[in-house]
Amino acid sequence: MTEKVRCLIIGSGPAGYTAAIYASRANLNPVMYEGMQPGGQLTTTNEVENFPGYPEGITGPELMEDLKKQAQRFGADIRFGMATATDLSAAPYKVTIDGEKVIEADTIIISTGATAKYLGLPDETKYAGSGVSACATCDGFFYRKRKVAVVGGGDTACEEATYLAGLADHVYLIVRKPYLRASKIMQERVLANPKITVLFEHETVGLTGDRVVQGANLVKRRGQADEEQVHIEIDGFFLAIGHKPNSDIFKPWVETDEVGYIKTIPGTPRTRVEGVFAAGDVADPHYRQAITAAGSGCQAAIEAERYLSEKGI
């Protein structure tokens, strides 16, 4: 079963929904497949206070529903389904949905996002949105004058610990190895900050608290003769061990970096495949914010409209 469309948007979230709004208003008749998590990562966030236009804040699911309704108001065809294979060797490009249906598209906007890496503890799910976060910039504001922990030993972890130290009362940086992997300058900033305590050779084995995070159980020098059980009292637990861009099915065709983020022509959402654009976290290893994702979705839709116009499609 094959269907032909002018503009296909793969993935939802702020980037995908914004692209759908702009593409619909440009009469591109976009079809969107929302993916495994309709609305993207933001649907797991209880409170969003940094998205413009919501002075009192809004929950992540409500914000995504607003964006979805706005796209549908202008005629976007939003469907539940997941892209499972692609053939971008020649236009019209072919995308397989749920392993069955094939969509032929004149232009494609990839907005599949990136998935935060977690330790795999059951408590991470238990306290999701209630003290567990994978974005200090998003949620750090809620932990002003409180104690938090950051897991990780690379640049991202050090950056998040430093950012949180400007808000929180104290920050524990939980590092599995006996050293930091971060760049020298980031290591120096962390080690020189009196509000950050680095816990080397510690691993988190569980979180505690009544409905919200109130503490973390750690093991120091796990598996060694001097192994030690440690408990710290915290109000927030931040994961900073990386993200995995959801780009696997596109890798044979578009260029990605070593982690898997899709590379675009600087300053644009254009990939190396003509008529294929990338927006949001799948192409953003630096900011990963709802507002930057939305902005890139706008750019992708405008570029798609220009491409189709130039091709006379």
Average pLDDT of the residues of the chain: 95
Label residue 44 by pLDDT band (50, 70, 90): confident
Say yes or no: domain 2-115+243-311 is CATH 3.50.50.60.
Answer: yes
For 118-239, CATH number? Answer: 3.50.50.60
Inform me whether the pLDDT recorded for 277 exceeds 80.
yes
In the residue annotation, 169 being an active-site residue is answered as no
* Domain boundaries of the chain, sorted by first residue: 2-115+243-311, 118-239
User: How large is the average pLDDT for residues 266-288?
Assistant: 96
In the chain, % of residues over pLDDT 70: 100
Inform me whether the pLDDT recorded for 301 exceeds 90.
yes
> Could you tell me how far CA 161 lies from the centroid of its own chain?
19
In the residue annotation, 298 being an active-site residue is answered as no
Element (H, E) at 179: none
| Residue of 106, 123, 135, 281 marked active site | 135
In the chain, % of residues over pLDDT 90: 88
Pair type for strands 243-245 and 114-116: antiparallel
Which pTM was predicted?
Answer: 0.83
Answer whether 2-115+243-311 and 118-239 agree in fold.
yes
How confident is the model at residue 49, as a pLDDT? 87
CA neighbor of 23 nearest in space, from 277, 272, 271, 245 = 277
In the residue annotation, 138 being an active-site residue is answered as yes
| Residue of 7, 138, 158, 298 marked active site | 138
> Omega of the bond prior to 92 within 30 degrees of 0, cis?
yes
